[in-house]
Amino acid sequence: MRPLLTFVFALLVAGVAWSTSPQDARAAAADLLLHHARIYTVDPSRPEAQAIAIRGDRIVALGSDAEVMTWRGPATRVIDAGGRALVPGLHDAHGHVLGLGELLQ
C-alpha cells in the first residue's frame, strides 16, 4: 500500500508543478501587441526593445518583434508603431500659477 501512496503523491506533486510552470503563462495570448517600435525600457541591461505584449494590466513580454509576436492570438489587437518611440511612465506636466508668479517676482 505504501508504494501506491508514494506513487499517487508523486503524481500529485508533478501535476501541481506542471500546472504552475512559466509555459502556462504564455498559454493565454496577449490582449495588445505593439511592434516595430523603439521602446525605451529604463533597464540598463536592456535599454531598448522593438515590441511589447500586454495582457490585462500587465506587461507579459518585451523584446524583439519576433519574440513578442509569439504572444499573438486570434483576438489580440496588433499595432504597428511605425518606428515611433514608446517611453514608459506617467508624465505630469503642470504648474501652479501662484508658485510660478512668486518665482517671477
Domain boundaries, the chain: 28-80
Interatomic CA distance for residues 41 and 37, integer angstroms: 12
- H/E stretch holding 49 reads strand 48-49
What was the pLDDT predicted at 26?
55
Q: Please report which confidence band the pLDDT of residue 20 belongs to, taking 50, 70 and 90 as the band edges.
A: very low
- H/E stretch holding 67 reads helix 65-69
Segment 28-56 shows an average pLDDT of: 93
Full-model pTM = 0.61
Segment 13-20 shows an average pLDDT of: 54
- Domain over 28-80 is classified CATH 3.40.630.30: no
C-alpha cell recorded at residue 74:
486570434
Transcribe 7-39 into DSSP letters: HHHHHHHHHHHHHTSHHHHHHSPPSEEEES-EE
